[in-house]
Structure 1
Amino acid sequence: MDFESAKALCLAFPGATTDIKWGADLVFSVGEKMFAVTGDEVPAKGMSFKVDDDRFLELTDRPGIIPAPYMARNKWIYVEEANALSDDEAHALLRRSYELVFAKLTKKLQREIGEAA
């Protein structure tokens, strides 16, 4: 998983925004709801994001992937080693994280983001 290309992918999703929270964390959001978090350093050293409930245990059993600190109860993982996921799998998981969060937005906000895209 190339963390820098993952950051670029996150920004390419419709309505995606970034901001810095907690001092040094680069947060990717849609509709002001987080879907991915990484450090603001370049190159990034890891990335957290939401996964489907049924994939959480499978993914956190892999070397280099752990339950995300503070967010594991919400089924977030932290990829701490770049070789833990291929770029293709990482991109699919990040897209799914975005979709999971987007689906929880109000229908009105979903329409506004869709129209702006």
Structure 2
Amino acid sequence: MNIEDFRSYCLAKKGVTEEFPFGEETMVYKVMGKMFALADVDLFQSVNLKCDPEEAALLRESYPAIQPGYHMNKKHWNTVEMDGSLDDKFIRRLIDTSYDLVVKGLTKTQKELLTKL
């Protein structure tokens, strides 16, 4: 998956914005103001995605390209190396999981607003 495919996939999700709160080199994708994906714009060597803690541990054991989240809460975030070892379908599933976890944690009011978008 290249950076444009990643960007397009994230932005196609309901209620998603692209922001640069950490500087011009790090793009952050948020749903209703909550982060679910981060990536380096210049290098695009990896992405950070939210994950259920139990699944995060299993993924790290199963795939060398998946490590604890760099500069993130390592219990809830994974860094996924974009080295070609994981296929696009699998990466899209990881993005979906991250998005869904964040949506699940939204307040009732935020969820209602999201459904109206």
Query: Could you state the TM-score of these two structures normalised by the residue count of structure 1?
Result: 0.87
Output one character per residue of 1:11-52: Cα deviation in whole Å (capped at 9) or x when no partner: 0100000111222210000111100000122x6221110112
Structure 2 Cα separation of the partners of residues 112 and 55 of structure 1:
29
Measured after TM superposition, the shift of residue 2 of structure 1 is 3.6
RMSD value, Cα: 1.6
Q: Which residue of 2 aligns with 1:90?
A: 91
- Number of residue pairs aligned between Structure 1 and Structure 2: 115
Structure with the higher helix share, 1 or 2: 1
Give the unaligned 5+ runs of structure 1: none
Determine the structure 2 residue equivalent to 1:81.
82
Q: After TM superposition, give the deviation of residue 80 of structure 1 in Å.
A: 1.9
Task: Return 5+ residue gaps in structure 2 as ranges.
Answer: none
Cα distance in 1 for partners of 2:26, 2:70 equals 13
Does 1:10 pair with 2:10? yes
Distance 2:8 2:35 in 1: 16
Percent identity over the alignment? 30
- 4+ residue runs over 6 A deviation: none
